[in-house]
Structure 1
Amino acid sequence: MAKNPMKERDSFSMPPQDGRTYLVTGANAGLGYFASEHLARAGAHVIMSGRHPNRLAAAHDALEARVPGASVETLLLDVANPGSVRAAAASIRGGMFDRTRLDGVIFNAGIVHPPHERRLTRDGRELVFSTNALGHFVLGSELLVPLAKSATNRWTPRMVWIGSVSTRMGAHNPVDVQLEAKYSAWKAYVQSKVAVQALGFEADARLRDASVPVKSIVAHPGYSIGGRTPRVQGVNQPGLFKRLKDGAQAPFSQSKEHGAEAIVRALVDPGISGGEYWGPRYLLRGEAV
């Protein structure tokens, strides 16, 4: 079950992450990019993954330009494609990357703006549920062994699942997960996030029961929008209209750079226990609690 935040942990300064390796899915833009940047600035080795080679390369180059000396590399990964997920996981398990350990993974990739019409993946599954929930479930199972092998007396590896405040804005019980009876873009998104959060909490309970040294934590970014986010070439380039529109939402929103802080804290804060739920203090914005 999710635990309530404790006041004594509200203030946080990220400890050095030198010697640790983290995988971030959907790292070519938005929250995934800024989470990668936060981790790289702290000295971690970051594996940035994404499904578009050109966008991933642009994000990699942008991060290296903004964080001189960053230790970062890329991995092609489409979480909506089980074959791609297993191939990427095999690359990590096979030691094809510069570091042999895996200290944590952020399950960030996903569809935030679902299509208006129901769409299916190559293997016939509803696209939003498959991308946001099922793909990361498969990835987590494929990476469980390398994560567990990286556990030490001082560190328990983690998987962080990205939840959403949208789950408080509508009662969606994921029974018809394929949305075959009735589809709507909003329902597709919300029920996928209900499932993601349930998977994150249940994963921690099962890992504990099986004495597997891996923590599972759920975090959400509040209402983080691109128009309030720093401009990064090839990553976040909002036009004037979006800047004005998003700027009008300043009282109840924040940048994606700030939204990524709750996610990164869930990944690296040594005081956080598995099964906890982290997000902005004021639900939509604020420091992580």
Structure 2
Amino acid sequence: MTWHPEAVPDAHGNTVVVTGANAGVGYFASEQLAAAGAHVVLACRSQERAEAAVSAIRRRVPGASVEATPLDVSDHASVAGAAAALLERERLDVLLLNAGIVHAPADRAVDARGNELVLSTNVLGHFQLTALALPVLERTPGARIVTLGSLATLLARFPLDDLQLDGSYTSWKAYAQSKIAAQVFGFELDRRLRAAGADIASVVVHPGYSTSGRTPGIRGVNQPSKVKRFADNLQAAWTQGKDHGAWVPVRAALDPEVRGGDFLGPRWVTKGVPARALATPTTRDRAVGERVWALLEEYSGQRFPLGR
């Protein structure tokens, strides 16, 4: 299973939606997918930043087919509106679930429904969006759902009795736990899709240790300070730019050899070309998957039209 990031398969005729695509890995995945010929929809909370990203892709990829659509994954109504717009499309080949909070707030915050904000943004909104957009994925042969996980899943415990972090919140725990839940969702989703006989693959990825200071500067998208670049370049031996981190979800989206339930990451764990990776046993555990699925339905208020 080899992959050359500079020679990706042709994606003309494919429609790809990338959440949180105005910066970071999401932006570069969108740019690379557009360069491969896909029509890319940047689903973003900020219209201004989304349009800046669209403009950047058009500058850097002549003839790119790209557009922006509003989506705030922490807002129940916004997610419902975005999903309704997706259902009007003829096809949806790839739904890339990338949006999220990386630098969690120091103090616990909640969304309008009372859910812990990092969990809401990194997991619940994507759960709702995927459930509501399922019909357009089902009518697209070979559709894929790609969930962005994290190396943080290797470094944290996962207490199922405290997913909302009531009384035990720290910013690190909120981020790490949300990414564990995201990976659990991605793997459990694939098991349920298979059981339902759906022609949809759910793939989970992580981008390694990708930093903005080692990422190409792009006006309106990535403009790190000189201090940030200096600090990040001191870690060059084990880090990479977010443009290289984006290679992993792009492979998950386009490689014909990728299958549902696969887990991909950089070859050298923190950096490198994308390859198959080892997920933590917790994120692949069926019993954990069933329990987390039930909690995601409860917290999001969204029933998912796939049984077991």
Do they fold alike, i.e. is TM over 0.5? yes
Q: CA deviation at 1:175?
A: 2.5
Q: CA deviation at 1:68?
A: 1.1
Q: CA deviation at 1:252?
A: 0.6
Residue pair 1:81, 1:122 contacting (<8 A) in 2 also: yes
For the residues of structure 1 that align with 2:119 and 2:52, how far apart are their CA atoms? 27
For the residues of structure 2 that align with 1:68 and 1:145, how far apart are their CA atoms? 32
* 2:63 paired with 1:53: no
For the residues of structure 1 that align with 2:212 and 2:116, how far apart are their CA atoms? 27
Q: CA deviation at 1:170?
A: 2.1
The aligned amino acid for 1:128 is V
* 2:15 paired with 1:25: no
* 2:233 paired with 1:247: yes
Please give the per-residue CA displacement for 1:124-183, whole angstroms capped at 9, x wherever unaligned.
Answer: 1100001001110111111111011011xxxx1000000100111122334311111211
For the residues of structure 2 that align with 1:115 and 1:147, how far apart are their CA atoms? 34
For the residues of structure 1 that align with 2:225 and 2:113, how far apart are their CA atoms? 37
1:10 pairs with one of 2, 14, 17: 2
For the residues of structure 2 that align with 1:11 and 1:87, how far apart are their CA atoms? 36
For the residues of structure 1 that align with 2:131 and 2:55, how far apart are their CA atoms? 30
Q: CA deviation at 1:64?
A: 0.6
For the residues of structure 2 that align with 1:75 and 1:166, how far apart are their CA atoms? 29
Q: Which residue of 1 aligns with 2:102?
A: 112
Residue pair 2:156, 2:177 contacting (<8 A) in 1 also: no
Q: Which residue of 1 aligns with 2:69?
A: 75
Q: Which residue of 2 aligns with 1:5?
A: none
1:168 pairs with one of 135, 151, 154: 154
The aligned amino acid for 2:72 is D
For the residues of structure 2 that align with 1:179 and 1:171, how far apart are their CA atoms? 13
Q: Which residue of 1 aligns with 2:298?
A: none
* 2:69 paired with 1:63: no
Q: CA RMSD in A?
A: 0.8
For the residues of structure 2 that align with 1:27 and 1:116, how far apart are their CA atoms? 24
1:37 pairs with one of 31, 39, 49: 31
For the residues of structure 1 that align with 2:41 and 2:3, how far apart are their CA atoms? 28
For the residues of structure 1 that align with 2:159 and 2:20, how far apart are their CA atoms? 26
For the residues of structure 2 that align with 1:215 and 1:203, how far apart are their CA atoms? 9
Paired residues, what number?
Answer: 273
Q: Which residue of 2 aligns with 1:87?
A: 81
Please give the per-residue CA displacement for 1:211-264, whole angstroms capped at 9, x wherever unaligned.
Answer: 011100000000000000000100000010000000001001000000000111
Could you state the TM-score of these two structures normalised by the residue count of structure 2?
0.87
Q: Which residue of 2 aligns with 1:226?
A: 212
For the residues of structure 1 that align with 2:114 and 2:3, how far apart are their CA atoms? 46
Please give the per-residue CA displacement for 1:47-99, whole angstroms capped at 9, x wherever unaligned.
Answer: 0110011111111111111111100011000000111011011012123xxxx
Q: Which residue of 2 aligns with 1:260?
A: 246
Residue pair 1:174, 1:194 contacting (<8 A) in 2 also: no
The aligned amino acid for 2:166 is E
Q: Which residue of 2 aligns with 1:132?
A: 122
Residue pair 1:174, 1:191 contacting (<8 A) in 2 also: no
State the secondary structure of the residue aligned to 1:198: helix
State the secondary structure of the residue aligned to 1:64: helix
State the secondary structure of the residue aligned to 2:114: coil
Q: Which residue of 2 aligns with 1:283?
A: 269
Residue pair 1:172, 1:187 contacting (<8 A) in 2 also: no
Residue pair 1:174, 1:195 contacting (<8 A) in 2 also: no
Q: Which residue of 1 aligns with 2:221?
A: 235
Q: Which residue of 1 aligns with 2:139?
A: 149
State the secondary structure of the residue aligned to 1:32: helix
The aligned amino acid for 2:2 is D
For the residues of structure 2 that align with 1:272 and 1:62, how far apart are their CA atoms? 29
Q: CA deviation at 1:101?
A: 1.3
For the residues of structure 2 that align with 1:189 and 1:105, how far apart are their CA atoms? 22
* 2:175 paired with 1:189: yes
Task: Give the percent of matched residue pairs that are identical in Structure 1 and Structure 2.
Answer: 48
For the residues of structure 1 that align with 2:18 and 2:148, how far apart are their CA atoms? 11
State the secondary structure of the residue aligned to 1:279: strand
